[in-house]
C-alpha cells in the first residue's frame, strides 16, 4: 500500500513538473489574471461600477471570469497534458486538476476587490470561488474525456471547449431559473 | 403660557414606570409649526435609576430626526431637536428607544399655521431657542420678558434669525454656484493593488527557474503570491481617508456672529465598511441624497453633531447636503462714517471677489489673509453683498475610524447693512 502511494506521489510530482515547464501554463496564468484585472478596472472606472441587468457588480465580473476560464482552461489542459502512455492518465488527471485549480484561483485577489466594491462580503467572494473551482475540475475532465474519444488534438480541444462552455451556460441558466 | 402649560401637561400624562427614564418635551415656538419651516422640539430626559443608551426619535409627518443618547443615572439632560417637513401634522411624536424597543413616548400637539400667514410668536421667559432654526416659524417675535438671552450662543441664534429675516429667504441675491468636483472612480481605489498583483503573478513563472530540481517551486510560489495578493486586496483602503468633495456657500450677515453654511457634497469611502461621517457643528443637519433606506430621517450623534451613517463599498460615493451654522468667518466689516472697511480675517486667500458699486472699480479681485479694502462712499441697495471664493471648506468633517479630507471651493458672501437697514 505504502509503495503504491509512494509510486503515485512520484508520478504526480513528475507530471506537475512537466506542466510547470510548459510555457502555456504561464501564458494562461497571465491571460486569466490580466483579463480579469482589466475587466474589473474598466467596469469600475465610471462613477459607479457597471453590472449586467439584474446582477451585482461582483456577480457580473464572475460571469465574465467563468466565460474566460471556459475558453482558457480547455486550451491550457490540451496544451500541457500529454496523452501517452495511457496507463498514467489517472496521475496526469490529478496533476492537471491541481495545476488548473491554482490557475483558476490566481484571479481571486482581483475578484475580492470587485466583491469589496459591491460590498457583498468576503463569504460571497469565497462562494463564487467554489463555482470557479468546479469549472476548473470540469474543464480537466472534459478535455481528457474528449481526448480519449477523439484522437485529433485540435478537434478534441474544440469539442472540450464547446462542451465545457455549454455545461457552464446550462448550469448558470438553471441557477437563474431556480432563482 | 396656556399653550405651553397644555403641552407640558399632555407630555407628562404619559406616565412612565417608576424606574423608566422620564421623558418630557415641548414642540414648536409658542406651540406653532409651519410647512417647510423648522420646528424646535425641546426634550428633557431624566435617567433616574438606570443608565440610558439608546436613541431619541422625533417624528413630524414623514420627517424624522434621531439623536444618539448616552446618559448615566442619575442625571438629567435637556436639548433641542429641529425637524422640518412639507407634510405637516398636528402632532409631533417623541420616543425613546433602547435596545431596539421603545421605552418611553410623548405625543405633542402642534398648532399649524399656513406658509402665507403672517405669524407673531411669543418667546417664553428663559426658553430661548439655541439655534436660529428655533425662530424659523415666526415672522415677528414678542417676548415674555424684556431680558436678552443670557447665553452668547442664544444671542447669536437670535441675531442670525433677525439677519436672515431682514435679508429675506427668497430674494437673497447670491452668485451662481459651481458644480461639486467630480468623484474619482472606484477603479482608482483598486488600481494600484490590482495592477501590482497582476505584475507579480506574471513574474512568478519567469522568476522560477525552469531547472529540473526547482521547477516545482512554481506552485507554492503562485500560492504565496495569491495569498499575499488576497491579503493586500482585503487591506486596500482600510486605513485611507474618506474624501469629501464639496461646493459650499458661507453667508455672513452684518450683526450676526455666526455664519450660515450650506453645502452640496459627495463622500467617497475608501473601504467596504460602516461609516459615520460627522459635520463639526452642533447646529445643523446632514442629509444623504442617495440613501433612500432611512427615508426623511436625519441623525445626530450623542453630542448633537449631525451625522450620516452609511454602509459603503470600496470607492463608492454618496451625495449629501449640509445646512449648518459655523464659527467660520472670512470677513470683518467696520463702518467709519460713510466708509466701509472689509478685512479678510480668514487664513485663506479670497479670490474672484465682487464688491458693491461703492467700492472702487479698480478694487482688487483678490484679498490675501489680513488684507483690507475700503469703500469710497455710502453703500446703497436692497441687499448689498461682498462675495469671494476660496479653495477650502467652512466646515470640517470627522469620522471615528478614518481621517477625512475635503476638497472643493466655498463662495463666501457677506450681506452688508444696505439701504433697507439704514
B234–A25 CB contact, under 8 Å: no
B219–A29 CB contact, under 8 Å: no
Closest CA to B82 of B43, B110, B114, B120: B43
Q: What is the pLDDT of residue B115?
A: 83
Cβ atoms of B127 and B47 closer than 8 Å: no
For cell 448689498, the residue is B384
Among chain A residues, CA nearest to B195: A37
Which residues have a Cβ under 8 Å from the Cβ of B147 and sit 6 or more positions away? B125
Q: Is the peptide bond before B74 cis (omega within 30 degrees of 0)?
A: yes
Question: Nearest CA to CA, how far is A114 from chain B (Å)?
Answer: 9
Cβ atoms of A49 and A43 closer than 8 Å: yes
B317–A47 CB contact, under 8 Å: yes
E strands in B254-366: 259-268, 274-279, 284-288, 296-300, 306-311, 317-326, 331-336, 339-344, 351-354
pLDDT per position as a tens digit, B220-229:
999 999 999 9
A110–B206 CB contact, under 8 Å: no
Q: Does the global pTM surpass 0.90? A: no
pLDDT per position as a tens digit, B194-207:
999 999 999 999 88
Cβ atoms of B135 and B114 closer than 8 Å: no
CB atoms closer than 10 angstroms to residue A5: 9
Cα gap A41→A88, rounded to integer Å: 42
Confidence of residue B9 (pLDDT cuts 50, 70, 90): very low
Q: What is the pLDDT of residue A176?
A: 79
Closest CA to B406 of B328, B331, B351: B328
CB atoms closer than 10 angstroms to residue B207: 11
The yes-or-no verdict on residue B420 having pLDDT over 50 is no
Cα gap B208→B216, rounded to integer Å: 9
Test mutation, A18, A117, A121, A125, chain B, max B CBs within 10 A = A117
Cβ atoms of B83 and B39 closer than 8 Å: yes
Cα gap B268→A58, rounded to integer Å: 19
What single-letter DSSP state applies at residue B1?
-
Q: Does A25 touch chain B (CB under 8 A)?
A: yes
Among chain B residues, CA nearest to A21: B210
A41–B187 CB contact, under 8 Å: yes
Name the residue facing B223 among A44, A102, A112 (closest C-beta): A102
Top-level CATH class of B2-167?
Answer: mainly beta
The yes-or-no verdict on residue B110 having pLDDT over 70 is yes
pLDDT per position as a tens digit, B144-202:
776 677 788 888 999 999 888 887 754 566 666 788 899 999 999 999 999 999 999 99
B194–A118 CB contact, under 8 Å: no
Q: What is the pLDDT of residue B376?
A: 80
Residues from chain B that touch A113, judged by Cβ atoms under 8 A, are 190, 193-194, 233, 236, 314
Q: What is the pLDDT of residue A85?
A: 66
Q: Does A109 touch chain B (CB under 8 A)?
A: yes
The yes-or-no verdict on residue B70 having pLDDT over 80 is yes
CB atoms closer than 10 angstroms to residue A75: 19
Q: What is the pLDDT of residue B166?
A: 81
A113–B226 CB contact, under 8 Å: no
A21–B210 CB contact, under 8 Å: yes
Confidence of residue B210 (pLDDT cuts 50, 70, 90): low
Among chain B residues, CA nearest to A99: B219
A17–B216 CB contact, under 8 Å: yes
B201–A30 CB contact, under 8 Å: yes
Which residues have a Cβ under 8 Å from the Cβ of B360 and sit 6 or more positions away? B376
Question: Nearest CA to CA, how far is B83 from chain A (Å)?
Answer: 32
Test mutation, B183, B184, B188, B190, chain A, max A CBs within 10 A = B190
Domains held by chain A: number = 1
| Interface contacts (A, B; CB < 8 Å) | 119
Among chain B residues, CA nearest to A109: B230
Mean of the per-residue pLDDT values of chain A: 89
Name the residue facing B191 among A26, A41, A98 (closest C-beta): A41
Q: Does A101 touch chain B (CB under 8 A)?
A: no
Q: What is the pLDDT of residue B146?
A: 66
Q: Is the peptide bond before A5 cis (omega within 30 degrees of 0)?
A: no
The backbone region for B405, taken as left when phi is positive above 0, alpha when psi lies in -120 to 50, beta otherwise, is beta
Q: What is the pLDDT of residue B335?
A: 87
Q: What is the pLDDT of residue B167?
A: 78
Q: What is the pLDDT of residue A174?
A: 84
Domain range for A138 is: 2-178
H helices then E strands: how many in chain B?
A: 4, 25
Name the residue facing B312 among A49, A102, A119 (closest C-beta): A119
Closest CA to B372 of B345, B402, B352: B345
Distances (CA, A) of B323 to A32, A143, B4, B259, B314: 49, 65, 29, 11, 27
Among chain A residues, CA nearest to B314: A117
A112–B230 CB contact, under 8 Å: yes
Cα gap A24→A100, rounded to integer Å: 12
Cα gap B397→B68, rounded to integer Å: 18
Cβ atoms of A46 and B185 closer than 8 Å: yes
Test mutation, A116, A120, A133, chain B, max B CBs within 10 A = A116
Q: Can you give the length of chain A in residues?
A: 179
Which residues have a Cβ under 8 Å from the Cβ of B112 and sit 6 or more positions away? B32, B33, B34, B35, B88, B90
pLDDT per position as a tens digit, A26-52:
999 999 999 999 999 999 998 889 899
Q: What is the pLDDT of residue B206?
A: 87
The yes-or-no verdict on residue B47 having pLDDT over 90 is no
Stretch A52-75: mean pLDDT: 93
For cell 466655498, the residue is B410
* ipTM of the modeled complex: 0.93
Residue B230: enclosing H or E segment and its boundaries?
Answer: helix B218-235
The yes-or-no verdict on residue B3 having pLDDT over 60 is no
Q: Does A146 touch chain B (CB under 8 A)?
A: no
Mean of the per-residue pLDDT values of chain B: 86
Question: Nearest CA to CA, how far is A50 from chain B (Å)?
Answer: 11
B313–A47 CB contact, under 8 Å: no
The yes-or-no verdict on residue A145 having pLDDT over 70 is yes
Q: Does A133 touch chain B (CB under 8 A)?
A: no
Q: What is the pLDDT of residue B120?
A: 86
Q: What is the pLDDT of residue A4?
A: 72
The yes-or-no verdict on residue B421 having pLDDT over 50 is no
Stretch B91-98: mean pLDDT: 94
pLDDT per position as a tens digit, A73-121:
999 998 888 766 667 778 889 999 999 999 999 999 999 999 999 999 9
Distances (CA, A) of B179 to B290, B365, B385: 17, 21, 22
Portion of chain B with pLDDT greater than 90, in percent: 59
Evaluated on CA atoms B239, A45, B278, B234, the torsion sign reads: negative
Q: Does A37 touch chain B (CB under 8 A)?
A: yes
**Stretch among B118-122, B146-150, B387-391 having the lowest mean pLDDT:** B146-150
Beta-carbon-side half-sphere exposure of residue B128 (alpha carbons within 13 Å): 20
Cα gap B13→B6, rounded to integer Å: 10
Cα gap A154→B262, rounded to integer Å: 68
Test mutation, A33, A98, A113, chain B, max B CBs within 10 A = A113
Q: What is the pLDDT of residue B19?
A: 62
Which residues have a Cβ under 8 Å from the Cβ of A46 and sit 6 or more positions away? B185
Helices (H), chain A: 2-21, 23-43, 57-80, 89-105, 108-118, 122-149, 153-178
Cα gap B308→B277, rounded to integer Å: 5
Q: What is the pLDDT of residue B195?
A: 97
**Stretch among B90-94, B330-334, B377-381 having the lowest mean pLDDT:** B377-381
Stretch A57-78: mean pLDDT: 94
Amino acid at each position: 500500500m505504502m509503495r503504491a502511494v509512494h509510486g503515485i506521489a512520484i508520478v504526480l510530482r513528475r507530471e506537475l513538473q512537466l506542466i510547470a515547464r510548459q510555457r502555456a501554463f504561464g501564458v494562461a496564468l497571465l491571460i486569466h489574471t490580466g483579463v480579469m484585472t482589466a475587466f474589473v478596472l474598466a467596469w469600475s472606472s465610471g462613477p459607479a461600477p457597471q453590472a449586467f441587468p439584474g446582477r451585482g457588480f461582483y456577480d457580473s465580473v464572475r460571469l465574465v471570469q467563468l466565460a474566460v476560464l471556459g475558453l482558457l482552461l480547455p486550451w491550457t489542459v490540451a496544451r500541457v497534458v500529454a496523452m501517452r502512455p495511457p496507463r498514467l492518465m489517472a496521475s496526469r488527471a490529478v496533476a492537471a486538476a491541481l495545476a488548473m485549480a491554482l490557475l483558476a484561483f490566481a484571479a481571486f485577489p482581483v475578484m475580492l476587490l470587485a466583491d469589496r466594491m459591491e460590498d457583498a462580503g468576503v463569504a460571497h467572494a469565497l462562494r463564487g470561488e467554489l463555482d470557479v473551482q468546479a469549472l476548473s475540475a470540469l474543464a480537466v475532465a472534459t478535455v481528457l474525456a474528449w481526448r480519449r474519444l477523439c484522437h485529433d488534438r485540435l478537434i478534441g480541444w474544440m469539442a472540450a471547449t464547446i462542451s465545457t462552455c455549454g455545461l457552464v451556460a446550462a448550469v448558470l441558466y438553471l441557477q437563474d431559473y431556480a432563482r | 403660557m396656556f399653550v405651553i402649560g397644555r403641552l407640558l401637561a399632555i407630555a407628562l400624562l404619559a406616565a412612565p414606570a417608576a424606574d423608566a427614564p422620564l421623558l418630557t418635551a415641548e414642540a414648536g415656538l409658542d406651540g406653532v409649526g409651519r410647512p417647510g419651516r423648522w420646528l424646535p422640539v425641546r426634550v428633557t430626559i431624566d435617567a433616574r435609576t438606570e443608565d440610558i443608551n439608546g436613541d431619541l426619535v422625533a417624528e413630524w409627518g414623514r420627517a424624522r430626526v434621531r439623536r444618539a443618547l448616552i446618559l448615566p443615572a442619575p442625571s438629567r439632560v435637556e436639548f433641542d431637536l429641529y425637524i422640518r417637513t412639507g407634510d405637516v401634522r398636528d402632532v409631533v411624536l417623541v420616543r425613546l428607544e433602547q435596545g431596539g424597543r421603545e421605552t418611553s413616548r410623548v405625543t405633542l400637539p402642534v398648532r399649524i399655521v399656513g406658509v402665507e400667514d403672517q405669524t407673531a410668536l411669543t418667546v417664553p421667559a428663559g426658553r430661548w431657542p439655541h439655534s436660529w432654526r428655533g425662530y424659523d416659524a415666526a415672522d415677528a417675535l414678542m417676548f415674555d420678558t424684556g431680558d436678552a438671552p443670557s447665553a452668547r450662543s442664544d444671542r447669536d441664534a437670535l441675531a442670525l434669525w433677525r439677519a436672515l429675516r431682514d435679508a429675506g429667504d427668497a430674494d437673497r441675491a447670491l452668485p451662481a454656484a459651481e458644480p461639486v468636483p467630480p468623484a474619482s472612480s472606484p477603479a482608482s481605489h483598486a488600481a494600484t493593488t490590482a495592477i501590482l498583483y497582476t505584475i507579480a503573478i506574471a513574474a512568478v513563472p519567469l522568476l522560477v527557474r525552469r531547472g529540473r530540481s526547482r521547477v516545482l517551486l512554481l506552485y507554492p510560489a503562485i500560492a504565496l503570491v495569491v495569498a499575499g495578493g488576497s491579503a493586500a486586496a482585503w487591506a486596500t483602503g482600510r486605513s485611507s481617508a474618506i474624501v469629501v468633495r464639496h461646493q459650499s456657500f458661507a453667508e455672513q450677515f452684518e450683526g450676526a456672529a455666526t455664519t450660515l453654511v450650506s453645502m452640496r457634497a459627495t463622500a467617497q469611502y475608501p473601504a467596504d465598511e460602516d461609516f459615520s461621517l460627522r459635520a463639526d457643528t452642533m447646529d445643523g443637519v446632514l442629509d444623504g441624497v442617495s440613501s433612500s433606506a432611512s427615508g426623511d430621517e436625519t441623525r445626530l450623534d450623542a453630542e448633537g453633531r449631525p451625522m450620516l451613517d452609511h454602509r459603503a463599498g470600496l470607492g463608492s460615493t454618496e451625495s449629501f447636503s449640509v445646512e449648518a451654522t459655523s464659527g467660520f468667518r472670512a470677513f470683518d466689516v467696520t463702518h467709519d462714517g460713510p466708509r466701509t472697511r472689509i478685512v479678510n480675517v480668514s487664513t485663506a486667500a479670497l479670490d474672484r471677489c465682487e464688491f458693491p458699486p461703492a467700492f472702487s472699480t479698480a478694487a482688487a479681485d483678490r484679498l490675501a489673509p489680513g488684507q483690507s479694502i475700503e469703500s469710497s462712499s455710502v453703500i446703497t441697495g436692497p441687499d448689498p453683498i461682498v462675495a469671494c471664493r476660496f479653495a477650502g471648506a467652512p466646515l470640517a468633517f470627522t469620522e471615528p475610524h478614518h481621517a477625512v479630507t475635503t476638497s472643493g471651493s466655498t463662495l463666501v458672501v457677506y450681506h452688508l447693512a444696505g439701504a433697507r437697514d439704514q
